[in-house]
Structure 1
Amino acid sequence: MPEVSIITPCYNSANFLEETIQSVLNQKFTDWEWLVTDDCSSDDSVKIIKKINDSRITLTVAERNGGAGHARNLSLEKATGKFITFLDADDYWEPDFLEEMVSFMKKEKAELAYSNYARCDKSLNPKIADFQADKEVTFDNLLKTCRLSLLSSMYDSERVGKEYFPAGSKREDHVMWLNLLKKIPVGKPLPKTMAKYRMHASSISRKKTNIMKDQYLVYKDYMHFSTLKSWYYTANWALNGFMKYSKFFN
């Protein structure tokens, strides 16, 4: 069994996939498995992945296009590593990411940890200031803003179990982290930048249309809060999101 399972959904990522692949192969820490699920890509993504000659990499091609959460779940079902971490097919890790995160998890006896990450344009050049891992994360403070990014976080599946992504939510990563933090008291910050996130103007995470409604449903449908309480946390999330991505605050 590998110590780390890396979970990656892939959908039409051929333009960036080779850089992402190289960032994994360049990791100083080598005891990992990489579970990639292609979500019915129509470009050369599958062809690019199949060219890699590395027994640690497992490619699954989904039978239907079910979205990133569904693709991640298919990989999670096959994961055998103690530590679970995520990397989308267009993001990038520095060579010391896994080494530093695993060492930190063990030293701190952490069940969940997250690091800084750089916020970049399509060419991986800095776009706004790095996101800072500067606070311990709890269920209560994660309700107001999602400080956990998939590409810079890791959790201990032996201690807390695997946490799957919910079907039907466009904010499935936030719901997943909230459900995970119902099980553990705190996620710990590692204030070092070891990952790069591509900020696509057209990505679902950056679209403003219906995003407030989607976030409201995180609280109303998945946390089962009252209408008033759901709108309260939605307003807090919106304010914190503006501060997180606005160049005025970065």
Structure 2
Amino acid sequence: MDKTVSKPYVTVFMAVYNGDLYIKDSIQSVLDQSYSDFELLIINDGSTDATVAIIEQFNDSRIRLINNETNKGLSYTRELGIQQAQGIYYAILDSDDIASPDRLQLQVAYFESHPEVHLCGGHARIIDGKGAETGFMKIDTGTVQDMGINMLFGNPFINSSLMMNRETILAVGGYRNFAPAEDYDLSYRISLKYGVANLDHVLVSYRVHDTNISTL
């Protein structure tokens, strides 16, 4: 009998600390994706609220939960996510945001048709704590060459919309303790060696509230 278990093509990574207000909707948005070959890797960074109980309510084999015994911080948790991920591609979704239904499908298709690109993101709707739309974040969707140059002048990416090649993340050294700019630091190092891009699609609803995990 072949006991080989196939690995998922995509790892969706979600870091959470005391996220019981919004994580249920965030998880559901991943499980409802039109693309199904993924794992949802959630690392709970020592939450003291009902976060773990909410996660454990989901009966879905694609969810993999890792618990930090104490609060280790975002840099540590993000690096642990890279090490634990099984997918070829690594997608980020903050535990308070909502993935658009076709997000993974669009990004995987883009990578497959643009092998020179190793990181891609997209636009975001802005929502409030109740999920009501309050704005729109349209980011630069220039050429692959332009995007790399733009990294010299700022961060043209919405972190919670990013998908990256996992081996590429490892090749450039992963996340560094570079608070509060770990996201930009990693994207910049990838852009120095590989193509980066933004899709002209809304990939995420970014929730603005008092305790956001990351900034736009």
TM-score by length of 2: 0.86
- Give the match for residue 163 of structure 2: 154
Matched, 1:128 2:143: no
Q: Structure 2: which amino acid aligns with 1:28? A: S
What is the Cα-based RMSD across aligned positions, in Å? 2.0
- Give the match for residue 38 of structure 1: 44
Counting only pairs closer than 5 Å after superposition, residues 1-250 of structure 1 correspond to structure 2 as: 1-109=7-115, 110-135=117-142, 136=144, 138-158=147-167, 160-162=168-170, 164-184=174-194, 186-203=195-212
Select the structure with the greater relative contact order (CA < 8 A; seq sep ≥ 6): 2
Task: Note if contact 1:114-1:133 (Cα within 8 Å) is conserved in structure 2.
Answer: no
C-alpha distance in 2 between matches for 1:133 and 1:63 = 40
User: Aligned-pair distance for 1:182?
Assistant: 2.4
C-alpha distance in 2 between matches for 1:171 and 1:124 = 26
Change in Cα spacing, 1:138 to 1:193, as seen in structure 2 (3 Å) is closer
1:16-54: CA deviation from partner (whole Å, max 9, x where unpaired): 011001101100100001111111111100111112111
User: Aligned-pair distance for 1:200?
Assistant: 2.0
Task: Note if contact 1:119-1:130 (Cα within 8 Å) is conserved in structure 2.
Answer: yes
User: Aligned-pair distance for 1:99?
Assistant: 0.8
Say which SS state the counterpart of residue 15 (structure 1) adopts: coil
Change in Cα spacing, 1:70 to 1:190, as seen in structure 2 (3 Å) is same
Task: Note if contact 2:139-2:157 (Cα within 8 Å) is conserved in structure 1.
Answer: no
Task: Note if contact 1:165-1:176 (Cα within 8 Å) is conserved in structure 2.
Answer: yes
Q: Structure 1: which amino acid aligns with 2:125? A: A
Q: Which structure is higher in strand share? A: 2
Q: Structure 2: which amino acid aligns with 1:88? A: D
C-alpha distance in 1 between matches for 2:92 and 2:136 = 22
User: Aligned-pair distance for 1:205?
Assistant: 5.2
C-alpha distance in 2 between matches for 1:81 and 1:112 = 14
Segments of 5+ residues of structure 2 without an aligned counterpart are: 1-6
Say which SS state the counterpart of residue 165 (structure 1) adopts: coil
Say which SS state the counterpart of residue 22 (structure 2) adopts: helix
Change in Cα spacing, 1:205 to 1:54, as seen in structure 2 (3 Å) is closer
User: Aligned-pair distance for 1:138?
Assistant: 4.2
Q: Whose Rg is larger?
A: 1
* Alignment size in residue pairs: 205
1:102-132: CA deviation from partner (whole Å, max 9, x where unpaired): 1111112222211111122112222223333
More displaced, 100-109 or 28-37? 100-109
TM-score by length of 1: 0.75
Change in Cα spacing, 1:167 to 1:35, as seen in structure 2 (3 Å) is same
Moved runs in structure 1, 4+ residues, more than 6 A? none
Task: Note if contact 1:119-1:131 (Cα within 8 Å) is conserved in structure 2.
Answer: no
Task: Note if contact 2:11-2:91 (Cα within 8 Å) is conserved in structure 1.
Answer: yes
